[in-house]
Each structure stands twice: as C-alpha cells, then as structure tokens.
Amino acid sequence: MRRQRILFIIALMCALGMGRVHAQADCYISYGLVEDSKPNKLYLYFPTADDNTYPEFGLGGLVTSPAHRFDVAELTGFPTGVTTAQLRDGVTDVVRSTFCEFNVQVLQTTTAPPTTFARRNTVAIGTDAGGTCGGETWGLAQAVDAGDPTAVDFAREWAGSRDVDPRRECGTVDSNNVELGFHEP
C-alpha cells in the first residue's frame, strides 16, 4: 500500500496541476462486477464542510483534523466555470486510472466513508494548505505499513498547498496579519 500511496500523491498532484479537470478513467480490467469484488477500498473523501471527526495523526506541525472542505473557489489556476464537482471527478478519474491494475477499488465520497469493508484507506482531500510557511506539504499518511498489515488507514491531502507562492517571505505580515512580500526562490 505504500507504493499505492505514493502513486496516489503523484496522481493527485498531476490532477490538481492539469489545465483541464476531466481525465477519463479507462481501465481495461475494470468493468462490471470486477471493481466491486476488489477487497481493498480507497475512499477519496472530499468533505463539503470541515469534518471535525476525521482522525488526527499529524506530526511536525501538520494538523490532519478537521479535514478541511474541498471547494474549488479556494484554489487558483483553474479555468473559469470549473465546478467543485468537476474537479472532484477529474481527481477521481486520475486516481482510478493510476490504480487500474491494483487490487483496489477507488471510491469517491463527500461524506465520511462507511466502515463496511474490512480493508480500506480513506484520504481526506481539502483545499487548504498544509504545513508551515515555506514548508508546505502535499500529503501525509497515518502510517507507513510495509507489507500492509494495517487494515484501516487514513491519509490527508492539502490541495491548497499547490497554490502557495514559493517566492513569498514567511513571517512578513501587515496590520491585518496577512502575509506580505516576495523573494526570489
């Protein structure tokens, strides 16, 4: 599952950085009941509101709970008219394509995922930025479980981290506590 998490993070970065938001999930082995029979479930959780019930497993200043809402209005760089639903679908399609040949069913949800399946990973994707100024991060897994001994696992993705300008000067704020200034990287 570690390799799958890394692939997911790469897929998410690609999906959030692409100019268009729709990528067709086309998998030659994913059809009909084949997907539903996969025992490992990967929930892409796009909360519509901040979720205080999401597990806290942050470290080094990263906070994973609450899981911040996923709202395209909080992101920059997307064509005018792109909706939150379109961006969710685009991200999900990229992840499904990435996991096509794995024994994992990728499921999109906007509500806390059910506990129906014994083997499941939930990735909460919010449009906030994670980390401290100058040290933003894309994502964090609850645990790195080599050999996949952890049946239920969680991760957090900060889609807003892609919007952070690396040229800004950390700690320089105006009277409203808003960061000011830029420096060359």
* pLDDT class of 130 with cuts at 50, 70, 90: confident
Query: Looking at residues 46-64, what average pLDDT do you find?
Result: 93
Q: Are strands 139-141 and 152-158 parallel, antiparallel or unpaired?
A: antiparallel
Question: What's the total number of domains in the chain?
Answer: 1
Residue 76 lies in a domain: yes
Is 8 a member of any domain?
A: yes
Residues β-bridged to residue 121: 42, 153
Between CA 96 and CA 107 the distance in angstroms is 9
Is it the case that residue 119 has pLDDT exceeding 70? yes
b/e sequence 70-85, b meaning 16+ C-beta within 10 Å: bbbebbeebeeebebe
Q: Would residue 21 count as lying in a domain?
A: yes
Name the residue range of residue 50's domain: 2-163
Is 129 domain-assigned? yes
Residue 174, domain member (yes or no):
no
- Tell me, yes or no, whether 176 lies in a domain: no
* 90 falls within a domain: yes
